Chain A
Amino acid sequence: MEDVIIKVEEIIAQLNEEENLDIDFPDSYIEDLAKSFVKRDLSDDELRELIRRLKAAYDRAHVEAGEAVGTVAAQSVGEPGTQMTMRTFHYAGVTELNVTLGLPRLIEIVDARKEIATPTMDIYFDEERRNDEEFVRTLANQIGKSTINDILSDSINLNYGTMEVEADLDNKKIEEKRLDREEINSIIEKTFKKATITNNHIVIPSQKSDKSDSKFEIRELRLLADKVRDLQISGIKGIGKVIIRKDDVEWIIHTEGSNLKEILDMDGIDHVRTTTNNIHEIGEVLGIEAARQSIINEAQNTLSEQGLSVDVRHIMLVADIMTSEGVVKSIGRHGISGEKSSVLARAAFEETGKHLLNASIRGEVDDLTGIIENIIIGQPIPLGTGSVGVKMDYKNE
């Protein structure tokens, strides 16, 4: 294939020289040309003709200078948006995990929300361990949140006589979750200083030693029991439930909640494919370019999951605009539209009074370079044919 690509490039260079075609195809075109050259068994002359025709079609498909690409992108994403479901569905394949889909998710993406409704991660494993079920299960339990409640053999007992909370741990459950007994003990002892642990039996006396107000004390004891039950014994901050799934070739962990930075630092994780759906988090951990790619991926997945196909170029434009300042910015009042340089353009979008008032206080000047400003004052707009001017060359009679 490599040599065919080189051959195609050579022929393009020849054509450029001989016929002055000024061909500058993207790499994907050259690859496609090479593929069809092999597949269709073309002769050199046929390849030349194909390149000429492709050049003509490529030029036709180019966006003209002055074309309203932003408006077209807005319409192209907006119209399918009207057909999207307003409901949140379950994640395909893993019914237990709830992930925001459809219109709410699309709004979340373009609004660049810091706190998304259902953050989730897809965790992959490196080559040696992607089929090691034992390793994956152990890691899943390290990542996922477990509380004392998950490893109790029975419910917690409240002893009102001695004012103590009693709990029994279940060895089988601990074993199942691949937790470390020693670690659990130390966490309990660290949190509840007065706790005594004998084998699997835990006794924690109520904090309050003053027995003057017994009614108060019963409440204290119940609160203590809740605290014991909810004591987190393993897991990474921000991550709740985990779901272990095996697809055709490997084990994958899906999580509820997300903490990309800490997960990527763990051993055995594939730090090439492991991702989160939280775009801000990706921006912080992997940089603005990764965030841009993630916006494109998330928006495209959301749309295609609903059976809608939007040309990726529209979504790319949205992602480019959202990340052009180096941080992820939202489309709308608090982001792109709210930070336009023109006062009139901002006032025309939302919060008219606020913008006009602030502009007059600061003495802002409007250069009337944009579309909206010129519509407001009734001038031709700088778009399409309006974006070029005609000047007379007075020296040339």
Chain B
Amino acid sequence: MKIDIQDHMLVPKHEIMTEEEISEEFSDVDYEFKDLPKIRANDPVVEAIGAEPGNVLRITRESQTAGVFVTYRIVEG
């Protein structure tokens, strides 16, 4: 595919989180990584940004209620 699907209005921003960001972000949560919502390794956006199974993606959505909403998904192997 020659177009960049990340430009599409339905696709929010996906970023791969670094180790430091992960440990900072999840230092005070009472759940484990494996309980995060999942995203498939063959998901078109995962392939487009080159994420690997086990990576945690930070997804910044435009939300109707909160303006901007940040959520996370773990890449499933």
Contacts and interface: CB of A to CB of B under 8 A. Distances in A.
Interface of A: 26-31, 261, 264-265, 271-273, 275, 282, 284-290, 293-294, 297, 312-313, 316, 320, 323-327
B5 A285 contact: yes
Given A275-B10, A288-B39, A289-B61, A265 B3 contact: yes
Interface string B44-60: 11100000000000010
A294 B10 CA distance: 7
B8 A272 contact: yes
Which 3 A-B residue pairings sit nearest by Cβ, starting from the closest?
A28-B67, A27-B67, A26-B66
A286 B45 contact: yes
Contacts of A282: 10
A264 B4 CA distance: 10
Contacts of A289: 10-12, 14, 39, 45, 59, 61, 73
A271 B8 contact: yes
A275 B7 CA distance: 13
A316 B10 CA distance: 14
A286 B7 CA distance: 10
Interface of B: 1-3, 5, 7-12, 14, 37-40, 43-46, 59, 61, 63-69, 73, 76
Tell me what chain B mostly uses at the interface: helix, strand, loop, or mixed: mixed
Given A293-B10, A326-B37, 13 more contacts: A27-B66, A27-B67, A31-B67, A264-B3, A265-B1, A265-B3, A286-B5, A289-B12, A289-B45, A293-B61, A312-B64, A312-B65, A326-B43
Tell me what chain A mostly uses at the interface: helix, strand, loop, or mixed: helix
Nearest to B38: A326
Contact of B43 (A272, A288, A293, A316): A288
A264 B9 contact: no
A286 B3 contact: no
Residue among A30, A31, A271, A320 facing the most chain B CB atoms (10 A cut-off)? A271
Contacts of A28: 63, 65-68
B68 A326 contact: no
Contacts of B64: 312
B1 A264 contact: yes
B9 A272 contact: yes
A316 B65 CA distance: 10
Nearest to A289: B12
